[in-house]
């Protein structure tokens, strides 16, 4: 008999709590609809109680995200002009104090609890969801694959060299990948993805096969080639090479006479890819220079073409090669530590801070 009682009590309690939760959710914790005005002209009406990001997503406005709404990447920030609430502690941890004070909040954390007026970069309004078909997968190194993707719907993408797209392997998990193909080919893009042990999205990507479909959002990012005459200094660490291809291609083909240099760092030659392409490019274009460096190799490596792969970290290479920093503009992509060191070196060399652009992977 006691067994029956205990079953009854346990299950009764659980059922009671469940019913209570459902009732509260259904009848008590309900929110009104609120209006969200974007950039002063576009107005949408959304149910309250959900995050700004999900409200916008339902209306086909896609804010960038590389953390899947966990509040760690800071990419989803929006400026709240009207309807500002106190910052959450997550937001205080991610956003600089000045931005918080200026009304910036994380779209994935701040919820719609009243009418809002927000400002987001105008180009986000043109971000679309793309569907593509993987036409080719190429193994570049032991842990980096290149995915060539033919666009199905919409059939063309416009992006600036260096921008990235966002992949969402499971709902809510979003990751950014730089576009590793050139801008001229509008009907397809390539992504280069490094496999991270136990990484959710990179593992998903590496499990894809040719002819599989892949959806993504984009393009995003203010890491793109600026129009001017400065020498372009590209600094790539590992898979940070991905966005450089289109930047270098654009400089070479659309800015006659503009110089471009690629500093490419990796641990060993086995972690490098595409270097043959850049070695032959140095032969074809005198304005292009290529400086590879291997950090975990003791001896300078001589490529059959006569090209030299230096040893050491890539910032040493920058320190050695750059002469007039003030004539340069720098684009950096790679692991955060590398970027921090390289920014320091570049600034020591006289590159102005506002001409240093980077994406930390």
Ligand X SMILES: Cc1cc2nc3c(=O)[nH]c(=O)nc-3n(C[C@H](O)[C@H](O)[C@H](O)COP(=O)(O)OP(=O)(O)OC[C@H]3O[C@@H](n4cnc5c(N)ncnc54)[C@H](O)[C@@H]3O)c2cc1C
List interacting residues with other proteins (CB under 8 A).
2, 5-6, 9-10, 13-14, 17, 20-21, 24-25, 28-31, 49, 85-90, 113
| Residue 218 is a binding residue for ligand FES (CB under 6 A) | no
Write down the least CB distance from residue 313 to other proteins, Å.
Answer: 24
Binding partner of residue 308 among other proteins, ligand FES, ligand X, none, CB cut-off 5 to 8 Å per kind: none
**Residue 113 or 188 with smaller CB distance to other proteins:** 113
- Which positions from 79 to 118 touch ligand FES by CB under 6 A, shown as an x/- string? ---------------------------x-x----------
Q: Which residues pair with 360 in a beta bridge?
A: 334
Write down the least CB distance from residue 212 to ligand X, Å.
Answer: 17
Which residues have a Cβ under 8 Å from the Cβ of 25 and sit 6 or more positions away?
Answer: none
Cα–Cα distance, 72 to 94 (Å, whole number): 6
**Residue 72 or 295 with smaller CB distance to ligand FES:** 72
Write down the least CB distance from residue 55 to ligand FES, Å.
Answer: 14
Beginning with the edge strand found earlier in the chain, give each strand of the sheet holding 308-311 in spatial order: 301-302, 308-311, 288-294, 260-266, 231-237, 328-334, 356-360
**b/e sequence 298-329, b meaning 16+ C-beta within 10 Å:** eeeeeeeeebebbebbbbbbbbeebeebeebb
Cα–Cα distance, 274 to 85 (Å, whole number): 49
Q: Which of 52, 56, 73, 346 binds ligand FES (CB under 6 A)?
A: 73
| Residue 69 is a binding residue for ligand FES (CB under 6 A) | yes
Q: Which residues pair with 131 in a beta bridge?
A: 153, 215
Do 69 and 51 meet the contact criterion of CB atoms below 8 Å apart? yes
Write down the least CB distance from residue 238 to ligand X, Å.
Answer: 8
Element holding 72 (H helix, E strand): none
Write down the least CB distance from residue 53 to ligand FES, Å.
Answer: 7
| Residue 76 is a binding residue for ligand FES (CB under 6 A) | yes
């Amino acid at each position: 008999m006691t067994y029956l009682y205990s079953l009854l009590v346990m299950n009764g309690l659980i059922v009671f709590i469940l019913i209570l939760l459902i009732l509260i959710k259904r009848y008590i914790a309900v929110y009104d609809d609120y209006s969200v005005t974007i950039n002063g002209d576009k107005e949408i009406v959304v149910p309250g109680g959900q995050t700004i990001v999900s409200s916008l997503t339902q209306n086909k406005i896609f804010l960038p995200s590389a953390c899947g709404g966990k509040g760690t990447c800071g990419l989803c920030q929006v400026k709240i002009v009207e309807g500002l609430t106190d910052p959450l502690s997550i937001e205080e941890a991610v956003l600089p104090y000045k931005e918080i004070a200026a009304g910036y909040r994380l779209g994935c954390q701040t919820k719609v609890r009243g009418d809002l007026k927000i400002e987001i970069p105008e180009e986000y309004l043109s971000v679309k969801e793309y569907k593509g078909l993987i036409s080719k997968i190429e193994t570049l190194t032991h842990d980096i694959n290149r995915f060539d993707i033919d666009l199905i719907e919409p059939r063309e993408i416009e992006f600036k060299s260096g921008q990235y797209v966002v992949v969402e392997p499971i709902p809510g998990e979003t990751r950014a990948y730089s576009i590793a193909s050139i801008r001229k080919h509008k009907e397809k893009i390539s992504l280069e993805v490094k496999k991270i042990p136990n990484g959710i999205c990179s593992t998903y990507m590496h499990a894809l096969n040719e002819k599989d479909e892949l959806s993504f959002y984009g393009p995003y990012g203010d890491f793109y080639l600026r129009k001017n005459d400065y020498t372009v200094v590209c600094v790539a660490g590992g898979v940070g090479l991905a966005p450089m291809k289109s930047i270098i291609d654009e400089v070479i083909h659309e800015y006659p006479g503009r110089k471009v240099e690629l500093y490419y760092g990796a641990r060993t030659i086995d972690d490098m890819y595409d270097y043959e392409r850049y070695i032959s490019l140095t032969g074809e274009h005198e304005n292009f220079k290529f400086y590879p460096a291997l950090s975990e190799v003791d001896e300078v490596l001589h490529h059959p073409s006569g090209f030299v792969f230096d040893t050491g970290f890539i910032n040493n290479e920058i320190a050695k090669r750059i002469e007039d920093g003030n004539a340069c503009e720098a684009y950096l992509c790679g692991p955060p530590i590398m970027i921090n060191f390289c920014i320091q070196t570049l600034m020591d060399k006289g590159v102005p801070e506002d001409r240093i652009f980077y994406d930390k992977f």
